[in-house]
């Protein structure tokens, strides 16, 4: 693995881990604790929302250099 690949690997794991754990905890607390929603439904919403956020963060931050603007 070259230097760029290693840096991208670290950035990917740090950002997705952070957004997955923190996002899930925050959404669960808000929707179950404050919104009094069912925890199973809320868990599905949190997982789906965090997946979308992880994709957007990875695409825009981790892999931005691999795909300059206007190319894909």
Total number of domains in the chain: 1
Residue 56 lies in a domain: yes
pTM for this prediction? 0.75
pLDDT per residue, tens digit, the chain (72 aa), is 677 888 889 989 998 999 999 999 999 999 999 999 999 999 999 999 999 999 998 888 888 766 666 655
Provide the domain limits for residue 34: 11-62
Question: Has residue 51 been placed in a domain?
Answer: yes
In a domain, 1, yes or no: no
Confirm whether 71 is domain-assigned: no
Look at residue 41 and tell me if it is in a domain: yes
The values of phi and psi at residue 36, to 5°, are 55, 40
Find the angle CA(17)-CA(22)-CA(51) to the nearest 5 degrees: 60
- Rounded-to-integer distance, Cα 44 and Cα 40, Å: 6
């Amino acid at each position: 693995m070259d230097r760029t690949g290693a840096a991208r690997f670290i950035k990917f794991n740090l950002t997705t881990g952070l957004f997955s754990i923190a996002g899930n905890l925050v959404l669960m607390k808000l929707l179950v604790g404050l919104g009094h929603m069912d925890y199973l439904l809320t868990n599905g919403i949190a997982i789906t929302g965090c997946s979308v956020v992880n994709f957007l963060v990875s695409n825009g931050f981790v892999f931005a250099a691999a795909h300059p603007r206007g190319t894909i």
